[in-house]
Amino acid sequence: MASGRVRVRFAPSPTGYFHVGGARSALFNWLVAKQAGGDFVLRIEDTDAARNRQEWTDGIISALDWIGIIPGEYEGPIMQSSRADRHAAAAAELFAAGRAYYCDCTREDIVGRAGSEQAAARGYDGYCRDRGLTAGPGRALRFRTPDEGTTTVVDVIRGKPEFQNSTIEDFVIARGDGSAVFLLANVVDDLDQGITHVIRGEEHLPNTPKQQMLWEALGAPEPPVWAHVPVLVNEKRQKLSKRRDKVALESYREEGYLADAMKNYLMLLGWAPPGGEEIVPWSTIEETFRLEDVKPSPAFFDETKLRAFNGEYIRKLSPDEFVAACQPWLTGPTASPPWPPQRYDPAAFDRLARQADAQSRVFVLGEIVEMVDFLFLEEPVRDEAAWAKAMGKGPAAEVLADAIREFATVEWTAQALKATLTAIGERHGQKLGKAQAPVRVAVTGRTVGLPLFESLEVLGREETIRRLRAAADRLPVTT
């Protein structure tokens, strides 16, 4: 490009939740701009008025912010819809130069001439090419593609795919109402915005020869650097789909994935840091990422691996950071915890999280809620299956009765509580693991959770005994 300055763009269409694949493309673009000391432009391609919603645009901006693409550090957002006049002018220019022609064929006309839908799908037959139609209502504008030769796309990731021009139909660039279609609007904006590198999803590769023809026809001395990043697939090797797979970046954020873990994981979708380590600081990624090293083959979006990654990132937090990171799930307003807000006690949470080492047990921050809800709910959750499992067999009633009695006077520390329950278990022929079950279910409502004795210590003597009594009252009296 003339100035030599690298300018990339991320150009999402605001028609739904922000897709993890979009986030990955955005990060690749961001890094290329950053490494080159160039510019990143956010362009919202909002020309599909029927499907666009302001909230999707807001969602994109906020999701980008979450992964470190921060408003104020990039150009835009530029709304594509604000440039409709410019798109129309480009269409008129192509018509005036003889590079495009008007066409009044209906779909039925085209199918009729081709003989079948299937045959028509092979492309427009050029019927209106030389009819000399001028602009008019219902007349689409088609780009006149060459009949011979090839178009070579030079792609950093894919090499030099070649397209036979004879297979590229005279494609529509403006609709019957005069509005430009994606193919044209996208190129006009890239040209006007001085974009040097187009880094985007593989699904756009078939559009690229057409767009490259438009670049040339609109007077660009050379096409941009193209890079088509690999499609994301699920464990069945199917392309990730909104209906089948969890693809919204927002849902990962809400569940309690850390932005740093997410960013690191997204970068591995098609690329890997040199040296074999996958979990690396962002600064290493910033130094070592190379678009040339991105692999063209489909990238597996592995939720299980992402979860494990997130767990590792959570372990790396300091205890203070961990406690702070949990707060949105404990106090709202983003999440809505199951306890009344006034019952939440930050000091108790802090103590429990540290003493019971919650940080080593959580993979996704939202999981913390179930681990600590017993502390803030008036009554523990009622889970009949857990109840049946812990209370239905063995000497549950005897264990509870002994615990009620002995917990009344024991020193209230995890260690002493453990020793007491161990002795109670032995008395009734049970190992500690078994003897814990009725106590855990009585106090927390669940069969699994944070270490029990630390949990009791934080809950306190009075409330623990009250819950043990309530559970004992529910059990049939044994003789």
Cβ neighbours of residue 301 closer than 8 Å, sequence gap 6 or more: 20, 232, 233, 234, 240, 245, 269
Interaction of residue 24 with ligand GLU, rule CB under 6 A: no
Whose Cβ is closer to ligand GLU: residue 63's or residue 198's?
198
Nearer to ligand GLU among residue 189 and residue 402 (C-beta): 189
Q: What is the smallest separation between the CB atom of 199 and ligand GLU, expressed in angstroms? A: 8
User: At closest approach, how far in Å is the CB of 60 from ligand GLU?
Assistant: 10
Cis peptide before 338 (omega within 30 of 0): no
Chain centroid offset of residue 5 CA: 30
> Closest by alpha carbon to 56, among 249, 222, 267, 204?
249
Instruction: Identify the bridge partners of residue 162 per DSSP, sorted by sequence position.
Output: 152
Q: Of 299, 286, 227, 290, which is closest to residue 20 (Cα–Cα)?
A: 299
Residue 208 or 430 having the CB closest to ligand GLU = 208
Decide if 396 contacts 438 (C-beta within 8 A): yes
CB of 152 to ligand GLU, least distance (A): 19
239 is a catalytic site residue: no
Considering only residues 310-369, where is the footprint of ligand GLU by CB under 6 A?
none
CB of 158 to ligand GLU, least distance (A): 15
Of 24 and 467, which CB lies nearer to ligand GLU in the complex structure?
24
How many residues form the binding site for ligand GLU (CB under 6 A)? 8
Strand, coil or helix: 9: strand
Query: What is the footprint of ligand GLU within residues 190-219 (CB under 6 A)?
Result: 198, 200, 204
**β-strands 225-229, 75-79: how paired?**
unpaired
Chain centroid to Cα 345, Å, comes to 32
Q: Give φ, ψ of 311 to 5 degrees.
A: -55, -45
| Minimum CB distance to ligand GLU, residue 369 (Å) | 35
Nearer to ligand GLU, 45 or 402 (CB): 45
Asked if 91 contacts 181 with a C-beta cutoff of 8 angstroms, the reply is no
CB of 87 to ligand GLU, least distance (A): 14
Binding mask 4-23 for ligand GLU (x = CB under 6 A): -------xxx----------
CA distance 107 to 119: 12
Burial class (CB in 10 A: 0-12, 13-18, 19+), 335: middle
Catalytic residue among 242, 295, 305, 431: 242
The residue behind tokens 């955005």 is: 26
Which residue in the block uniquely carries the two structure tokens 């693809």?
Answer: 247
**Residue 186 interacts with ligand GLU (CB under 6 A): yes or no:** yes
Which residue, chain included where needed, has tokens 């592995």? 302
- Quick note: the x/- pattern for ligand GLU over 44-73, rule CB under 6 A, is -x----------------------------
Nearest in space to 40 (alpha carbons), one of 186, 187, 188, 193? 193
Q: How would DSSP label each residue in 122-184?
A: T----TTTTS-----TT-EEEE---SSSEEE--BTTTB--EEEGGGS---EEE-TTSPBPHHH
CB of 14 to ligand GLU, least distance (A): 9
**Residue 110 CB partners (closer than 8 Å, separation 6+):** 120, 124, 125, 127
State which residue, 15 or 336, has the beta carbon closest to ligand GLU.
Answer: 15
Looking at the Cβ atoms of 101 and 301, the one nearer to ligand GLU is 301
Q: Which residues does the annotation mark as catalytic?
A: 242
Residues that bind ligand GLU (CB under 6 A): 11-13, 45, 186, 198, 200, 204
